[in-house]
Structure 1
Amino acid sequence: MKSLRYIVAIADEKSITKAAERLFVAQPSLSQFLQKYESDLGCRIFQRYSKGVCLTGAGEKFVPKARKLVEMYDQMVKEMRLMCKTQKKMISFATSIFRGEIIIPELLQRFYSKNSNIVIDCHEIHPKEIERQLAKGEIDIALVVAPVDNPNICCQVVAHEEVYLAVSKSHPILEKARVNPDTNKKWIDIRDMASEKFILLENEWRLRAFSDRIFAKYGIHPSFEIASLRTTFGFAAESLGVIFCPQVYIVGVGMHSDKLQYLSIGPNGEYRDLLLAYSNRYEVLPAYIKDIVEIVTTMLRCPAS
Structure 2
Amino acid sequence: MEMHQLRYVVAVARTGTFSRAAEECRVAQPSLSQQIQKLEDELGERLFDRLRRGAKLTAHGEAFLPRAVRILEEVEAARHEAREANALLRGTLSLGVLPTIAPYLLRDVLVRFAASYPDVQVVIHEDTTAALLRQLHSCEIDLALASRPLDDATLTIRDLFSEELKLALPPGHRLARRRQPITLDDLREEQLIVMKPGHCLGEQVLGFCQRGDTAPRIAFRGAQLETIQSLVHAGIGLSLIPAMAARPDHPAAPVYRSLNHPRPQRTISALWTKNRPPTRAAGEFLRIVEAGSMKD
TM-score (structure 2 length as normaliser):
0.62
1:138-163, Cα deviation, whole Å (9 max, x unpaired) = 11012111122222221111010111
CA distance in 2, matches of 1:236, 1:105: 25
Look up the equivalent residue of 1:292 and give its one-letter code. F
**Corresponding position of 2:91:** 89
% same residue: 17
**Corresponding position of 1:240:** 236
Mark the CA change 1:105 to 1:224 in structure 2 (over 3 Å): closer, same or farther.
closer
Aligned partner (choices 184, 194, 206) of residue 200 of structure 2 = 206
CA distance in 1, matches of 2:216, 2:105: 34
Mark the CA change 1:95 to 1:167 in structure 2 (over 3 Å): closer, same or farther.
same
**Corresponding position of 2:211:** 217
CA distance in 1, matches of 2:212, 2:261: 14
Which structure 2 residues correspond to residues 15-34 of structure 1 after superposition, within 5 A? none
CA distance in 2, matches of 1:259, 1:296: 26
CA distance in 2, matches of 1:234, 1:108: 27
* SS of match in other structure, 1:220: coil
Q: CA deviation at 1:261?
A: 0.6
**Corresponding position of 1:172:** 174
Aligned partner (choices 258, 265, 271) of residue 252 of structure 2 = 258
Look up the equivalent residue of 2:229 and give its one-letter code. F
CA distance in 2, matches of 1:133, 1:125: 10
CA distance in 2, matches of 1:212, 1:144: 18
1:4-62, Cα deviation, whole Å (9 max, x unpaired) = xxxxxxxxxxxxxxxxxxxxxxxxxxxxxxxxxxxxxxxxxxxxxxxxxxxxxxxx9xx
CA distance in 1, matches of 2:222, 2:249: 13
Contact 2:136 2:143 in 1 (8 A): yes
Which structure 2 residues correspond to residues 111-122 of structure 1 after superposition, within 5 A? 111-115=113-117, 117-122=119-124
Question: Which 4+ stretches in 1 moved above 6 angstroms?
Answer: none
Mark the CA change 1:108 to 1:242 in structure 2 (over 3 Å): closer, same or farther.
closer
Aligned partner (choices 267, 270, 286) of residue 293 of structure 1 = 286
Contact 1:93 1:122 in 2 (8 A): yes
**Corresponding position of 2:222:** 228
Aligned partner (choices 90, 100, 103) of residue 101 of structure 1 = 103
* SS of match in other structure, 2:235: coil
The Cα RMSD (Å) is: 3.4
Unaligned ranges ≥5, structure 2 = 1-18, 32-85
Which structure 2 residues correspond to residues 38-187 of structure 1 after superposition, within 5 A? 68=27, 88-115=90-117, 117-178=119-180, 187=181
1:239-288, Cα deviation, whole Å (9 max, x unpaired) = 2211121123225xx79663411111117732110001112113x65433
Contact 1:93 1:120 in 2 (8 A): yes
**When the two structures are aligned, how many residues end up with a matched partner?**
216
CA distance in 2, matches of 1:213, 1:167: 19
Q: CA deviation at 1:134?
A: 1.4
Q: CA deviation at 1:114?
A: 4.4
**Corresponding position of 1:190:** 184
Unaligned ranges ≥5, structure 1 = 1-59, 73-85, 179-186
2:267 maps to 1:273: yes
Q: CA deviation at 1:98?
A: 5.0
* SS of match in other structure, 1:106: helix
CA distance in 2, matches of 1:232, 1:158: 26
Contact 1:199 1:242 in 2 (8 A): yes
Query: Which protein is bigger by CA-based radius of gyration?
Result: 2
Mark the CA change 1:151 to 1:135 in structure 2 (over 3 Å): closer, same or farther.
farther
* SS of match in other structure, 2:275: coil
1:66-118, Cα deviation, whole Å (9 max, x unpaired) = x6369x9xxxxxxxxxxxxx994322112134532343343334334544554
Contact 2:163 2:266 in 1 (8 A): yes
Contact 1:98 1:248 in 2 (8 A): no
CA distance in 2, matches of 1:242, 1:109: 33
* SS of match in other structure, 1:173: coil
TM-score (structure 1 length as normaliser):
0.60
Look up the equivalent residue of 1:158 and give its one-letter code. L
1:215-259, Cα deviation, whole Å (9 max, x unpaired) = 1232222322342134433332122211121123225xx796634
CA distance in 2, matches of 1:257, 1:166: 14
Look up the equivalent residue of 2:244 and give its one-letter code. V
Mark the CA change 1:100 to 1:223 in structure 2 (over 3 Å): closer, same or farther.
closer
Mark the CA change 1:100 to 1:274 in structure 2 (over 3 Å): closer, same or farther.
same
